[in-house]
């Protein structure tokens, strides 16, 4: 009974739960990556108790991988030693942690996952409760196998209608972020529903869950349905049976409704994700670097959309265009189906799967005064390098059109 998050928690604890209540939950997986694992190891060592279940621990190298400098290399060496010492089997160097978590089958409807990364919320698109925590809590969960949560209130986001060609789930989510504001859902669960979500392929639903933290949410959930089950079977190693469930007599704190059918492409402008404008208001702004990548929008379908626009054309001469597939699996598929060749022919630089340019440490760092257009989820000042650089966010289609023009451009003429 209750909203989706209440339903997931109730299944786990064996009785119904109410917002505000504190619950202690067994977790299915505890995720961390090269950036957050060193502090988790420190906390773990300080607690001084054994690892409860090494098979629940999942560690990824993705944030600065392959190591771009000595410090990163030493960190990764430390982590690798720890992984070997503790007998941790789930150790990946195959791309962005969140995409790999889904592909490798850790995410299932009704699951409960935590991770030392704010975008751990991503798995909510498949009906799992997942959220980001700090490294100490990850270190603690290695010892206890559990974590505590306060049952959050839920805001229902009902999205109706179908988007026009050239408008994607990223545009819808950016519009929502503009409406909700950066703390519009703090401590809340966002539940996405409506005819638009029902018809939306799972890869595109992931954008909503992924960016729910951008408005402060604890999680962003979508009820698992037949599409979810098909996706899990087709695209991941997750083992059936998969549960399909919905909110039952839910009580929402509030309901937000949006008709997506008239929406134009949107851009989140420097320097905040809620600084949102319709693309036409910023079209023509010169761009030094286009980045198609990250856990938000570098899935195969995103690359396909971008390649569709770039095929047979050339990116603008002064605009560096970087493509970083979210995972090795996606990279392989893109290679097999000729997408990588399309990017290379168009003059793009294709980087190794991972977070790439997203955190300003390698793979496309911005210089002072530069402006980037990216498919990322956040545009904080200094995120991609210089604090004097600007970051604009939009869909993969807008990114590709922008790469061709060298300035922010509308993708609709190409689709």
By CB under 6 A, tell whether 117 contacts ligand SF4: yes
Is residue 351 a contact point for ligand SF4 (CB under 6 A)? no
By the rule CB under 6 A, 63 interacts with ligand SF4: yes
Pull the structure tokens for residue 363: 């793979």
96 binds ligand SF4 (CB under 6 A): yes
Of 93, 119, 188, 361, which lies in the binding site for ligand SF4, with binding defined by CB under 6 A? 119
The number of residues that bind ligand SF4 (CB under 6 A) is 12
294 binds ligand SF4 (CB under 6 A): yes
Indicate the residue among 10 and 213 with the shorter CB distance to ligand SF4.
213
Q: Which 3-state string (H, E, C) describes 15-45?
A: CCCCCCCEEEEECCEEEEECCCHHHHHHHHH
Q: Residue 258: helix, strand or coil by DSSP?
A: strand
Helices 169-180, 202-211: axis angle to 10 degrees equals 20
Determine the interface stretch with ligand SF4 among 45-53, 167-175, 200-208, 355-363 (rule: CB under 6 A): 355-363
Q: Which does 187 bind (CB under 5 to 8 A by kind): other proteins, ligand SF4, none?
A: other proteins
The CB-of-388 to ligand SF4 minimum distance in angstroms stands at: 21
Give the residue with the Cβ less far from other proteins, 46 or 85: 46
State the nearest-atom distance from the C-beta of 75 to other proteins, in Å.
7
CB of 253 vs ligand SF4, minimal distance in Å: 27
154/375 with CB nearer ligand SF4: 375
Smallest distance from ligand SF4 to CB 324, Å? 9
Q: Taking the CA atoms of 75, 79, 85 and 86 in sequence, report the sign of the dihedral they define.
A: positive
Helix, strand, coil percentages, rounded to 5, for the chain? 40, 20, 40
> Distance from first CA to last CA of the chain, Å, rounded?
43
What is the DSSP pairing of strand 266-268 with strand 276-278?
Answer: antiparallel
Please report, as ranges, the residues that interact with other proteins according to CB under 8 A.
22-24, 35-36, 38-39, 42-43, 46-49, 64, 69, 71-72, 75, 115-118, 120, 132-137, 139-140, 143-144, 146-148, 150, 182-183, 186-187, 216, 218, 272, 359-361, 378, 380-383, 385, 387
Q: Which residues contact 210 (CB under 8 A, 6 or more apart)?
A: 98, 119, 121, 122, 125, 220, 295, 296, 377
What minimum distance in Å lies between the beta carbon of 414 and ligand SF4? 25
405: Cα within 13 Å, side-chain hemisphere? 19
Rounded least distance, CB 239 to other proteins, Å: 28
Residue 415 DSSP SS3: coil
144 binds, among ligand SF4, other proteins, none (CB under 5 to 8 A by kind): other proteins
| Cα gap 183→170, rounded to integer Å | 19
Among other proteins, ligand SF4, none, what does residue 299 contact (CB within 5–8 Å per kind)? none
User: If you compute the radius of gyration of the chain from its CA atoms, what whole number of angstroms results?
Assistant: 20
Cβ distance to other proteins smaller for residue 186 or 262? 186
Considering Cα of 239, then 57, then 209, then 385, what sign does the dihedral take? negative
- The DSSP letter of residue 407 is B
Contacts with ligand SF4, residue ranges (CB under 6 A): 63, 96-98, 117, 119, 294-295, 355, 358-359, 377
């Amino acid at each position: 009974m209750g909203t989706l998050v209440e339903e997931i928690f109730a299944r786990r604890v064996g009785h119904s739960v109410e917002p505000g209540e504190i619950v202690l939950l067994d977790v299915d997986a505890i995720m961390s990556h090269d950036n957050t694992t060193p502090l988790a190891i420190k906390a773990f060592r300080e607690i001084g108790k054994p690892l409860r279940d090494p098979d629940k621990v999942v560690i990824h190298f993705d944030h600065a991988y392959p190591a771009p400098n000595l410090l990163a290399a030493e960190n990764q060496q430390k982590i690798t030693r720890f992984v070997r010492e503790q007998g941790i089997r789930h150790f990946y160097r195959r791309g962005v942690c969140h995409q790999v978590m889904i592909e490798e089958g850790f995410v299932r409807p009704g699951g409960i996952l935590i991770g030392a990364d704010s975008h751990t919320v991503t798995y909510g698109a498949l009906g799992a409760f997942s959220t980001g925590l700090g490294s100490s809590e990850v270190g603690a969960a290695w010892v206890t196998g559990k974590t505590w949560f306060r049952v959050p209130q839920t805001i229902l986001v009902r999205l109706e209608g179908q988007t026009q060609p050239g408008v994607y789930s990223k545009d819808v989510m950016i519009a929502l972020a503009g409406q909700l504001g950066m703390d519009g859902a703090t401590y809340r669960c966002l539940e996405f529903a409506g005819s638009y979500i029902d018809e939306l392929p799972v890869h595109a639903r992931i954008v909503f869950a992924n960016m729910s933290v951008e408005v402060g949410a604890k999680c962003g959930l979508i009820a698992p349905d037949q599409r979810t089950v098909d996706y899990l079977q087709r695209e991941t190693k997750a083992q059936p049976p998969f549960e399909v469930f919905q909110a039952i007599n839910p009580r929402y704190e509030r309901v937000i409704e949006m008709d997506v059918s008239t929406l134009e492409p949107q851009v989140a402008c420097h320097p905040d994700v809620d600084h949102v404008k319709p693309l036409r208001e910023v079209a023509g702004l010169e761009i030094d670097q286009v980045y198609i990548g990250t856990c938000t929008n570098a899935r195969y379908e995103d690359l396909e959309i971008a390649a569709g626009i770039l095929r047979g054309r050339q990116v603008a001469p002064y605009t560096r265009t970087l493509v970083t597939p979210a995972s090795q699996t996606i990279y392989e598929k893109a290679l097999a189906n000729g997408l990588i060749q399309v990017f290379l022919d168009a003059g793009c630089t294709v980087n190794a799967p991972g977070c790439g340019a997203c955190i300003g440490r390698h793979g496309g760092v911005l210089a002072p005064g530069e402006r980037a257009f990216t498919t990322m989820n956040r545009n904080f000042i200094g995120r991609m390098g210089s604090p004097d650089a600007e970051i604009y966010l939009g869909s993969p289609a807008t990114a590709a059109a922008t790469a061709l023009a060298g300035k922010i451009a509308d993708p609709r003429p190409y689709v």
